[in-house]
Amino acid sequence: MKRKKGYFSISAVAKMFSVHQQTIRLYEKEGLITPKRSEGNTRLFSEEDVDRLEEIIHLTHTVGINLAGVEMILKLQKKIQKLQSQMHDMFEEANKEFTQEAEQRTLRIKDSLQQLENLSSRQTIKKLEPKKDGAHE
């Protein structure tokens, strides 16, 4: 659903979803949504509140889940998001460590290759040098 940015009154939100304002108050009373309040104690629904309310209405009206089930679903979704964030952080850290290790191994391989080239060059030079006793190969 396309909406304008900002805060919405309870009447505007109720019209958006074709529900009674009392239904929205019930969801707030059950702790499923927590809109901000103005100085005059009027409920102010943010974009996030409206998105969450849209999900709650979908679960209750379309899917037929009761409010206890909705509460459980929302808690599990929050837990899943937290775990996904932790996993993402762990993968980022592991990737960083693997990249550093690969760079270190690359440097060691280059160093070893240089040492082999130096050793090979010395052996070639020894073969080309005349022998000290005056004999040549």
How does pLDDT run across 85-130, given as a tens digit for each residue? 999 999 999 999 999 999 999 999 999 999 998 888 877 777 777 7
3 contacts 50 by C-beta, under 8 angstroms: yes
Which residue among 16, 38, 65 closes a domain?
A: 65
What pLDDT, on a 0 to 100 scale, did the predictor assign at position 3? 56
Which residue among 20, 49, 65 closes a domain?
A: 65
74 contacts 32 by C-beta, under 8 angstroms: yes
What pLDDT, on a 0 to 100 scale, did the predictor assign at position 96? 97
Mean pLDDT of 7-21: 96
In which band, very low, low, confident or very high, does the pLDDT at 8 lie, cut at 50, 70 and 90?
very high
Mean pLDDT of 57-71: 96
Q: What is the count of structural domains for the chain?
A: 2
Rounded-to-integer distance, Cα 134 and Cα 79, Å: 84
Tokens standing for residue 128: 């080309």
Q: Which domain range does residue 107 map to?
A: 68-127
Same domain, 44 and 76: no
Same domain, 25 and 79: no
What pLDDT, on a 0 to 100 scale, did the predictor assign at position 61? 94
Same domain, 93 and 118: yes
Same domain, 5 and 57: yes
Kindly state whether residue 10 falls inside one of the protein's structural domains.
Answer: yes
What pLDDT, on a 0 to 100 scale, did the predictor assign at position 4? 60
Same domain, 56 and 73: no
In which band, very low, low, confident or very high, does the pLDDT at 35 lie, cut at 50, 70 and 90?
very high
Between residues 59 and 117, the one the model is more confident about = 59
Kindly state whether residue 134 falls inside one of the protein's structural domains.
Answer: no
Same domain, 72 and 31: no
CA angle 97, 100, 101 (to 5 degrees): 85
Which residue among 65, 86, 101 closes a domain?
A: 65
The closest alpha carbon to 37, from 27, 46, 26, belongs to 46
Same domain, 116 and 72: yes
